[in-house]
Amino acid sequence: MIHLPRAIFERDAATVARALLGQRVVRVLNGQRVGGLICETEAYGGTDDQASHAHRRTPRSAIMYGPPGYAYVYLIYGMHFCLNAVTEADGQPGAVLIRAIAPDEGVAIMRGRRGRVSERSDRGLTDGPGKLCQALGITRAQNGIDLTVSAELFVETGVAVADEQVEITRRIGVRGDEIARGRLWRFVWRR
């Protein structure tokens, strides 16, 4: 497979969020590939998006103002990591949260990382941003990795997802003004 080029990420966050459905997130752990097809994303804009970390520039959100195609990994609730891909042009903040993948590589490794022992428990293996990061071994150590060239964590070409298979909804659990809470920037691949 081929890493997605930077040009894919150089667009507005909502466009990238839709485009990432069906693409593959891969993490290499001890020489072993683990990952799967992206099946849920959320877009986050810049200073005009009160639900976005970029609404106020801070040391944590500064990466969102940088070049596109880099990993933005942060900790929420003091316990769960979240993986984002930086979008937009350099200097214009935006990112896409990878909310869920359909695991299909290194599934036994992911089960072990999530404390699961059988295939019967795979349904919820990577169906949330914290679960995904735990299963793939993604922590703040991966923050700032260039997803377009890294051999450790990257996004590569996957499959095309037809518009009829995509559900578009409001983002989950966001704060901010009514505009931020009402944006239809969550994209779900209904396979």
pLDDT in tens, 40-67: 999 999 999 999 999 988 888 999 999 9
Per-residue pLDDT band for 110 (boundaries 50, 70, 90) equals very high
Q: What is the identity of the amino acid at 92?
A: Q
Q: Where are the beta strands (DSSP E) in the chain?
A: 24-29, 32-44, 71-76, 80-86, 95-105, 153-156, 166-169, 186-189
Q: Which CATH class is domain 6-189?
A: alpha beta
In this predicted structure, what is the pLDDT of residue 122? 77
Is the predicted pLDDT of residue 118 greater than 90, yes or no? no
In this predicted structure, what is the pLDDT of residue 65? 96
Q: Are 143 and 74 in contact (CB under 8 A)?
A: yes
| Predicted structure pTM score | 0.95
Task: Provide the mean pLDDT of the chain.
Answer: 94
Domain boundaries, the chain: 6-189
Q: Are 153 and 26 in contact (CB under 8 A)?
A: yes
Tokens 């497979």, residue located: 1
In this predicted structure, what is the pLDDT of residue 117? 65
